[in-house]
Amino acid sequence: MKKIFIITLLILGSLHSFAQTDSVKVEQFCQVIATPRLLSNRVTIDIDFGDEKKFWSDTRLRTWEGKVKKFNTIIDAMNYMGKEGWSFINAYPVKYGDSEIFHFAFRKLFYRTDIQ
């Protein structure tokens, strides 16, 4: 009886070990936009993940504590994106009046398991 119990336990345990989930890599993109501040040498950093922006909602990037994430420089924002696993693609300036707004494109691979 003890042998049958052990064999049954091993068979049931091995059935679960053969389960696999198919995962697909999905490439996502984002854009870091650096806008110069008025009468200052600092910049305002905006990160666009492609989400819909509503007029009354606050879409600023926040820390785990819920505080608004502030960056000191463009390099600080780029280092943050690198730590989060984003890869730099390209940078380009856009002339707006007398100032230039810098755009930095990033990409990241995510595993998507909910594809039907």
In this prediction the pTM is: 0.68
Contacts for 116 with CB less than 8 Å, ≥ 6 apart: none
- Could you tell me which of 38, 86, 41 has the C-alpha nearest to residue 61? 86
Structure tokens at 48: 């666009």
**Could you tell me if residue 45 is inside a domain?**
yes
User: What's the number of domains the chain is made of?
Assistant: 1
> In the predicted model, what is the mean pLDDT of the chain?
81
**Could you tell me if residue 12 is inside a domain?**
no
Cα separation of 37 and 41, whole Å? 7
pLDDT tens, 95-104? 988 888 899 9
**Could you tell me if residue 15 is inside a domain?**
no
**Could you tell me if residue 8 is inside a domain?**
no
Question: Domain of 103?
Answer: 21-112
**Could you tell me if residue 25 is inside a domain?**
yes
